[in-house]
Amino acid sequence: MTRVALAFSGGLDTTVCVPLLEEEYGYDEVIGVTVDVGQPASEFDEAEETAEALDLDHYVVDAKAEFADLCFDSVRANATYQGYPLGTALARPVIAEAILQVAQEQDCDGIAHGCTGKGNDQLRFEAVWRDSDLEVIAPVRELGLTREWEQEYADDKDLPVEGGSGGDWSIDTNLWSRSVEGDELEDPSYVPPTDIYDWTDEPSGESEEIEITFEAGYPVAVDGEEYDSVSLIEHLNELAGSYGVGRTDSMEDRMLGLKVRENYEHPAATTLLNAHEALEGLVLTQEEREFKQLIDQRWSKKGYEGLVDAPLVGALEGFIAQTQRRVTGTVTVRFEGGTARPVARDSEFAAYSAEHASFDTETVGKIKQEDATGVAKYHGFQRRLANAVTDDDADAETVELATDGGEE
């Protein structure tokens, strides 16, 4: 008997894949696997009900903790893609690993997903699965299925789906973010209604300040109360979301080169990323901050691609871990007008001296204001010289003034 494991949500795409895997690909048995990375309970109810109606063996894997830990790794890397925090992208490798483990435990011969050939998720799933010996199957992509065809097929087969996402929008939810796309949102000129949002309220005139504690770059407490990673994210999603924090409306460039319109909600992610970057600004040197921007950018790109286990990421995380040793302290964040703005930060590792920076101190130790005179004379010296010798009206006197530090 041949068996295939299917990434199963109970929606239209994955439901029609069940009979297709038997009819078109010749598998004797299909098992469904749903992975919990923080979706609403209603989605699991739908998957369970659909699996039961299909007489499908259904496995549910709780991977919230693994996903939350990866999200916190992304905080240390200040990970965003084209202006929004990575959510769906980070969830896919976690989901793929969990499905692969079930497939191997259940002696499956193949592993399948219901992704289309136009999105990123097909690549993220298969990057994990193609490390195995299992046959990788993508019925929607390989058979060129359209939504209309799937709906007609579901009707003909009397499959237990209503033929859609349960609403006007295509929604993907996990602990870290909620994405909304499809239908009229595909028109970049369309102004989305407020009812596309579920995690975030409309910003009001109210404000609140909270204190977030970091240890080695990881968030560990809010207002002095410690949380595990899942609970901390859930707490901040609710709190920051009540102030309208974390909405993004973007034109996103996918890996296949397509440009798509995406709407996101990510209250906790926005809050933690803003706070973390503020704390880094206090404790890291200028050189560390500038170079880490390059490291963070590369980490974010690999995270978007779903390749968080790539050798490059491991190397990047070596640098990140070194810098994060000092990213310990607290950041006060103010929720106001739909923003999460750091307004104070404190750390025993601060690379900062108020005494040296103050305008009210004349001499600190061996450093005096007048010591900056020599620096000021050399600052811009090459610019003055280059401008002088390339000026059509330059003369010997101008060049001499430039080399003496005078003004052109």
Which residues are the active-site residues? Answer: 13, 92, 121, 170
Q: What share of the chain is helix, strand, coil (3-state, %, to 5)?
A: 45, 20, 35
Q: Say which residue the tokens 């202006």 belong to.
A: 83
Degrees, nearest 5: CA angle 197-201-206:
160
Cα separation, 180 vs 161, in Å, equals: 20
* CB contact set of 167 (below 8 Å; sequence gap of 6+): none
177 is in an annotated binding site: no
Measure the CA–CA gap between 326 and 279, rounded to whole angstroms: 10
Q: Is 12 annotated as a binding residue?
A: yes
Of 158, 219, 198, 168, the residue nearest 18 (C-alpha): 158
Residue 120 marked as a ligand binder: yes
Which helix (H) or strand (E) is 74 found in, with range? helix 64-76
Query: The tokens of 287 are what?
Result: 């050189």
3-class secondary-structure state, position 125? helix
**What 3-state DSSP class applies to 98?**
helix
| Residue 114 labelled as part of a binding site | yes
CB 147 within 8 A of CB 154: no
Is 170 annotated as contributing to ligand binding? yes
Write down the H helix ranges in 242-391: 267-283, 286-305, 311-324, 354-357, 372-378, 381-390
Q: Are strands 29-36 and 3-7 parallel, antiparallel or unpaired?
A: parallel
Q: Is 8 annotated as a binding residue?
A: yes
238 token code pair? 């609710």
DSSP string, 10-24: SSHHHHHHHHHHHHT
Q: Is 121 annotated as a binding residue?
A: yes
- The verdict on whether residue 381 carries a ligand-binding annotation is no
Is 119 marked as binding a ligand? no
Could you give the CA distance from residue 90 to residue 92 in angstroms, rounded to a whole number? 6
7 in a known ligand binding site: yes
- Angstrom distance (rounded) from CA 97 to CA 353: 47
Rounded to 5 degrees, φ, ψ at 197 are: -90, 140
- Tell me the longest C-alpha to C-alpha distance in the chain: 93
Does 264 show up as a binding residue in the annotation? yes
Q: Is 205 annotated as a binding residue?
A: no
Using an 8 Å Cβ cutoff, are 154 and 12 in contact?
A: yes
15 is in an annotated binding site: yes
Known binding residues for L-aspartate are 116, 120-121
Could you list the residues known to form a binding site, using ranges: 7-15, 84, 114, 116, 120-121, 124, 170, 179, 252, 264
Query: Would you list which residues are annotated within the binding site for L-citrulline?
Result: 84, 120, 124, 170, 179, 252, 264
Which residues fall in the annotated binding site for ATP? 7-15, 114
